[in-house]
Structure 1
Amino acid sequence: MTAADDARSAPPPLAALLRGIDVLCAAGAFVAAISAALLALILITEVIATSFFEWSQPWAVEYATYLQCFILFCGAGWALRQGSHIRVAILLQGVPPAAARLLDMAGTAFAIGILGFASWALWQQLLRTIDFGSTSYYPMGTPLWIPQAFLTVGITLLLLAFVARLLRLVLGLKPDLGAGYGGGAE
């Protein structure tokens, strides 16, 4: 079942919601991919500058740290939809399909609770950072709301991806585009 088939199998308002979440998560994955390319460029530049010119870029550590965060969190929602997150599939494969679905739903609901709290806390922190005008202690003095916004949006996208996963499980649709319960390395 493809993502398009999946969306057509759901009631129209839910299908639109699921497609919208998938599109947002794909945009997050695009940000993660661009961040990975920029991180590689920064690291290569830093190695060359340090090795051949004995000069370290003062901003490299700061921005490499931000980019690592963007890579990890902005692409997490898309990775969940692809079935790329690590989970204990052996437990799900050892029980009947109905029980596996219920366990998956319980785990997904638990993740929604944790991510809901994390998302709420990060949005609160982002708003405080904007209000205070906080900047990084590194020489570049980056306004901290910028990297915090990417982190907050990334966690929120992962939350939305888990909500979409739970909706798919409740509707009896395939929760991800990976191998599923029956096989594959998970």
Structure 2
Amino acid sequence: MQEQYDQGPASAGPIFEATERLTRLATGAVLVALVTLVCGEAFLRGAFNYSLGFAEELTGYAVVMLTFFGASLALRQGSLFHVHFVFDALSESARIWLTRVFAAFALIICVVLAWKTKDLMLSSLVREKFAPTVLRTPLWIPQMLMPLGFAMIGVFICEKFLLTFDRFKD
């Protein structure tokens, strides 16, 4: 049974595979930038007693992005919201229906959260709110990460749901 988890995720089609590749590329780039920024800030503080001033703000935004997009990738890999020893003990039919019920509830939650966080982002955009920081970042920019993150999680939840039907299986 373990070899099932070592083969990588099942796919419901090339759109989901391309979405995963794009998500991995984006999270990888942000992770490299985050590590570079943190190491650069630590070096400058230690060696020259100088701070960039904006590093903390940008690392916060990067962590939020990595959390959402990383969760979506973990969901696709089957390692998020999944207790293998319980799930593996169920019959195939029970697994399919449990996956469908989970996907339906999780998708509803993702849609509601994406909608509400989109409203928050649009409110900040319309009201021209800025972060009270050195960069004075327009708040809608980092707030945009939330609805995008929930949408990405929703995409892979949809894939999990589709994979419960025979026509999408290998």
Please give the range of the TM-score, normalised by the shorter of the 2 chains.
Answer: 0.7 to 0.9
Give the share of equivalent positions with the same residue, in percent.
22
Paired with 2:77 and 2:169, the residues of 1 have a C-alpha distance of: 11
Please say if 1:45 is aligned against 2:40. Answer: yes
Alpha carbon RMSD of aligned pairs, Å?
Answer: 2.4
Q: Partner residue of 1:58? A: 53
Please say if 1:124 is aligned against 2:86. Answer: no
Which amino acid in structure 1 is aligned with residue 19 of structure 2? L
Structure 1 residues 1-186: aligned runs within 5 Å: 6-7=11-12, 18-171=13-166, 173=168
Kindly provide the CA deviation profile for residues 17-40 of structure 1, in whole angstroms up to 9, marking residues without a partner as x.
Answer: x43244234322221111100110
Paired with 1:26 and 1:75, the residues of 2 have a C-alpha distance of: 12
SS of corresponding position for 1:116: helix
Q: Which runs of 5+ in 1 are unaligned?
A: 8-17, 176-186
Paired with 2:166 and 2:106, the residues of 1 have a C-alpha distance of: 18
CA contact (8 A) 2:72 2:153 kept: yes
- TM value normalised by structure 2: 0.84
Paired with 1:171 and 1:120, the residues of 2 have a C-alpha distance of: 31
Paired with 2:28 and 2:166, the residues of 1 have a C-alpha distance of: 31
Q: Which runs of 5+ in 2 are unaligned?
A: none
Q: 1:123 to 1:21 in 2, by over 3 A?
A: farther
- TM value normalised by structure 1: 0.78
Equivalences, count: 164
CA contact (8 A) 1:26 1:78 kept: no
